[in-house]
Amino acid sequence: MESGDPLVSAEWLLKNFDAPDIRVLDATYFADFTNPPETGRQAWARGHIPGATFFDIDHVADDASPYPHMLPDAVKFSSRIRKLGVGDGNRIIVYDQNRFFASARVWWMLRVMGHTDVHVLDGGLAAWVEAGGGLEDLPPVVSERHFTPRVRSDLIMDSAGLEKAVGSARLAIIDARPDGRFFGRVPEPREGLKSGHIPGSVNLPGSALITEDGHMKSARQLANLFKDPMAPTVTTCGSGVTAAVTALALARLGNWDVAVYDGSWTEWASDPSRPIATEA
């Protein structure tokens, strides 16, 4: 059973940084459609927490999927993460430089693969620097470790399962996209996709979970945003990244069993036979 807070503070990481079992991953990701000035890997190369390896969600992914950064199978995941020096017995701390984008996604991926000793650095790299942590721009020397996957399929939602749940009151569906896209007022950034939402889903933009300085809101603040934080829940977004931020917030409230719809709106709206709603 997972419990406690899925996030750690920069102060905690500074205090425990030299523990031999700790591994730090930089999961910075910028979506292409935002026209970022650099890639996540370039941001990592420019400056990262000492010893942190770069976790590329577009590389540790299902290469055969037509959708972006989909979760790979256990064999591919374990093969690629071993090369990052991460394996059994490690306490993993994931951070990013973009407001939990995509540290929460990597936190979820590791948990799907059965690794429970994983936390997200609250506030990301900025919090580390503010707390007095140093940076380096050299890649770390990595030794491969054995990683044993123990897949938790209950943390993954696919389109078939979600189609069965639509119209049912047994599962809360929370969409983390901005409300304009959710209600069909604003076009999707991915060409060819209609905007709107999965019927029966509710909108809670991922930005509502984050403070102005890039930390996740407190448990008390988060509790006011969810109708029933402990309800069986699946989260969705544009492509399965922001949805993991919602799952992280619900874990902070004690619900560790939230499933993420991996394909999210990119997959759902790609099939014209699936229903799309635009009303409240």
217 half-sphere exposure, CB direction, 13 A CA radius: 20
Residue 254's pLDDT is 97
Matching residue, tokens 């701390």: 93
pLDDT digit string (tens) for 102-117? 999 999 999 999 999 9
Residue 59's pLDDT is 97
Residue 36's pLDDT is 95
CATH 3.40.50.1970 fits 7-151, yes or no: no
* Residue 69 designated active-site: no
* Rounded Cα distance, 18 and 144, in Å: 19
Specify the CATH number for 154-268; select among 3.30.1280.10, 3.40.50.720, 2.30.40.10, 3.40.250.10: 3.40.250.10
Residue 152's pLDDT is 97
Which residues of the chain carry a pLDDT beneath 50?
none
Strand locations in the chain (E): 7-8, 22-26, 53-54, 91-95, 118-121, 156-157, 172-175, 202-203, 233-236, 259-261
Of 60, 193, 237, 259, which residue is the catalytic one? 237
Residue 280's pLDDT is 72
Residue 167's pLDDT is 78
Q: Say what angle helices 103-112 and 242-252 make with each other, to 10 degrees.
A: 70
Tokens of 265: 């709106």
* Residue range(s) occupied by CATH 3.40.250.10 in the chain: 7-151, 154-268
The DSSP element (H or E) to which 111 belongs, if any, is helix 103-112
Residue 165's pLDDT is 87
